[in-house]
């Protein structure tokens, strides 16, 4: 066993002097689906407050709330009608304050979701824009253009919406006359702001300050690489491919420098985390000095469970991000992708009906070997936890929940389902309300006020096998493993550099972090660890494992003795 020359990457800073977000583990809450406290079948903030013990017991450092602002909810709240308030269905501002205080009392940070690329068509500004004339100040806040063709009946360019269909919708005047078109990178109900209008930047600075003044600890920033558009809005050579005129335009960085100045002015380690679906080298630009603090690294989440794919993806992140001031935010699950258990356990994929690359990589459907998927998801998580940077967990992954692929079509709410002409099922299957109790009837304890209330998305009968009450009582459960894994992470030397080890086999990868070695065997024969790796700290196979030999689909941490 030889060790490669050290490809030292990010060096996490001293845990005592480093800002809290640098090595943090954050729990993502899809508010509608965690716990319903008032019996309407929809999760709410008081539901989260009532069950904060579950989150705190995991050993995470904070929580990120998916958007819970007033919204017509055409895209899960990413269509914000009012950035200054909390939707009454989630309990309003008073419930937010109760949750914030309770979270802080548990030592948990609170991140809100900021949606600056677009708002809801119900936002006052967009209503004013629709009522105003072409060329008006009200329309200048959005991207309105005349149509092409002799009668303006063709969209201004050939851009496609991320959810399918054209990225432009034409207004109709009250008297029925066809009008200008507006740009929406997502659903028609989500008009894009025009960030070249200074009023837009000023409004968002106010929003940032409002929530920082209300005591939050940071923001996750939605599609943080898309706000600035090429001023000419040129046609795309391939309308179905990437959109370089909308994604990663250089001007977007100026917005984040401004926001960073705002955040830093508070002097209390606030964090700004960007949702940036870009390769590592470009994602790194977002966490340069003076910009964002963290950037999601989604490349890994798009890889199959394969040693070479993981080695390349992690390596590119560590190399690409090492000049950065901020850190990568690693993640395997979210409300936008199929759950890791399903991605890694997919044994018989259905023929795809979409050409969307992201959907093909993260939302493939088909028959799943759940036990295999769970083993691999646990192995991947334990590997993630060994890396420098922060880790984001998505509610339900701590239970080993698979994706709910079998939702009835009439229950689907994701706009992708309709906009793709029913060729892409969308993201509802990762958003089904959590099972809290294994009881066979009702909503599995999701609603504390009305155990029989139907949850807003139907829960399958097999959710009983993943119920939190059962897993909490079972030392061999996925939940027990998550708690152990997060506890083990606290034993890592955060100052230690990360070095790859050469295993002389291509179906396993290993890295050293200080006195710890983390090894993942993806495939092939069991790996016999060399004696100098030390004692076994934790195995993704679970607490009962007695041998230090590492089998396929398993990650193990070792630690040199004496440390
Ligand atoms: C990314 C969010 O995570 C996703 O759920 C949403 O649909 C789009 N941005 C549009 O806001």
Ligand 1: distance of its center to the CA of 222 in Å? 6
Give the model's confidence band at 11: pLDDT under 50 very low, under 70 low, under 90 confident, else very high.
very low
Pull the structure tokens for residue 211. Answer: 């929530």
CA distance 428 to 460: 13
Ligand 1: distance of its center to the CA of 163 in Å? 10
Give the model's confidence band at 1: pLDDT under 50 very low, under 70 low, under 90 confident, else very high.
very low
Give the model's confidence band at 362: pLDDT under 50 very low, under 70 low, under 90 confident, else very high.
very high
Helix, strand and coil content of the chain, in percent to the nearest 5, comes to 30, 15, 50
CA distance 168 to 184: 6
Decide: 255 in ligand 1 pocket, CB within 6 A. Answer: no
Which amino acid residue places its CA nearest to atom 4 of ligand 1?
336
Give the model's confidence band at 323: pLDDT under 50 very low, under 70 low, under 90 confident, else very high.
confident
CA angle 553, 299, 22 (to 5 degrees): 90
User: CA-based Rg of the chain, rounded to a whole angstrom?
Assistant: 24
The residue among 340, 224, 227 whose CA lies nearest residue 277 is: 224
Query: So what's the pLDDT on residue 237?
Result: 96
Decide: 75 in ligand 1 pocket, CB within 6 A. Answer: yes
The length of the chain in residues reads 563
Share the mean pLDDT of the chain: 95
Q: What is the pLDDT of residues 216-245, one digit of tens each?
A: 999 999 999 999 999 999 999 999 899 999
Which amino acid residue places its CA nearest to atom 3 of ligand 1?
336
How much is the average pLDDT of 265-269?
97
How much is the average pLDDT of 159-172?
96
Decide: 336 in ligand 1 pocket, CB within 6 A. Answer: yes
pLDDT exceeds cutoff 90 at 322: no
Furthest C-alpha separation in the chain: 81
Which amino acid residue places its CA nearest to atom 2 of ligand 1?
222
Give the model's confidence band at 10: pLDDT under 50 very low, under 70 low, under 90 confident, else very high.
very low
433 close to 33: Cβ distance less than 8 angstroms: yes
- DSSP category for residue 66: P
């Amino acid at each position: 066993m030889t060790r490669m020359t050290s490809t030292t990457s990010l060096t996490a800073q001293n845990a005592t002097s480093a800002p809290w977000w640098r090595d943090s583990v954050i729990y993502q809450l899809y508010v509608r689906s965690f716990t319903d406290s008032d019996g309407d079948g929809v999760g709410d903030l008081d539901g989260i407050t009532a069950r904060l013990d579950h989150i705190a017991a995991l050993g995470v450092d904070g929580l990120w709330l998916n958007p819970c602002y007033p919204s017509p909810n055409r895209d899960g709240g990413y269509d914000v009608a009012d950035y200054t308030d909390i939707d009454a269905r989630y309990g309003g501002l008073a419930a937010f304050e109760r949750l914030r205080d309770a979270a802080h009392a548990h030592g948990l940070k609170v991140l809100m979701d900021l949606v600056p690329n677009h708002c809801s068509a119900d936002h006052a500004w967009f209503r004013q824009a629709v009522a105003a004339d072409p060329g008006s100040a009200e329309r200048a806040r959005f991207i309105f253009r005349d149509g092409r063709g002799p009668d303006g009946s063709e969209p201004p360019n050939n851009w496609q919406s991320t959810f399918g269909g054209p990225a432009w919708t034409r207004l109709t005047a009250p008297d029925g006359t066809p009008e200008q078109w507006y740009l929406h990178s997502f659903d028609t109900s989500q008009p894009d702001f025009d960030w070249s209008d200074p009023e837009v930047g000023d409004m968002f600075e106010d929003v940032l300050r409002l929530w920082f003044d209300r005591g939050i600890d940071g923001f996750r920033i939605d599609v943080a690489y898309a706000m600035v558009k090429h001023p000419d809005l040129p046609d795309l050579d391939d309308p179905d491919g990437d959109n370089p005129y909308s994604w990663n335009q250089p001007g977007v960085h100026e917005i984040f420098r401004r926001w960073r100045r705002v955040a830093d002015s508070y002097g209390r380690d606030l964090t700004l985390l960007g949702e940036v679906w870009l390769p590592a080298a470009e994602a790194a630009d977002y966490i340069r000095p003076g910009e964002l603090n963290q950037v999601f690294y989604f490349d890994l989440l798009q890889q199959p469970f394969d040693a070479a794919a993981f080695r390349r993806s992690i390596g590119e992140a560590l190399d690409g991000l090492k000049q950065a001031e901020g850190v990568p935010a690693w993640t395997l699950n979210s409300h936008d992708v199929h759950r890791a258990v399903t991605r890694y356990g997919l044994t018989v994929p259905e023929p795809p009906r979409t050409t969307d690359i992201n959907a093909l990589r993260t939302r493939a459907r088909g028959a799943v070997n759940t036990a295999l998927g769970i083993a691999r998801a646990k192995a991947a998580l334990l590997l993630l936890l060994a890396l420098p940077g922060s880790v984001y967990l998505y509610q339900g992954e701590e239970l080993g929940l698979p994706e709910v692929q079998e939702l009835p079509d009439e229950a689907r709410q994701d706009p992708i389902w309709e906009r793709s002409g029913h060729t892409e099922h969308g993201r509802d299957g990762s958003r089904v309300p959590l099972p809290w109790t294994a009881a066979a009837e009702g909503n599995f304890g999701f609603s504390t006020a009305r155990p029989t209330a139907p949850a807003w998305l139907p829960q399958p009968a097999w959710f009983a096998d993943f119920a939190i009450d059962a897993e909490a009582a079972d030392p061999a459960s996925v939940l027990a493993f998550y708690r152990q894994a997060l506890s083990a992470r606290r034993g890592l030397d955060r100052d230690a550099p990360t070095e790859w080890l050469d295993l002389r086999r291509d179906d396993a990868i290993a890295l050293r972090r200080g006195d710890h070695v983390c090894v993942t065997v993806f495939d092939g024969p069991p790996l016999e660890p060399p004696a100098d790796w030390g004692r076994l700290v934790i195995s993704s196979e679970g607490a009962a494992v007695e041998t230090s030999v590492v089998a396929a689909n398993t990650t193990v941490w070792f630690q040199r003795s004496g440390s």
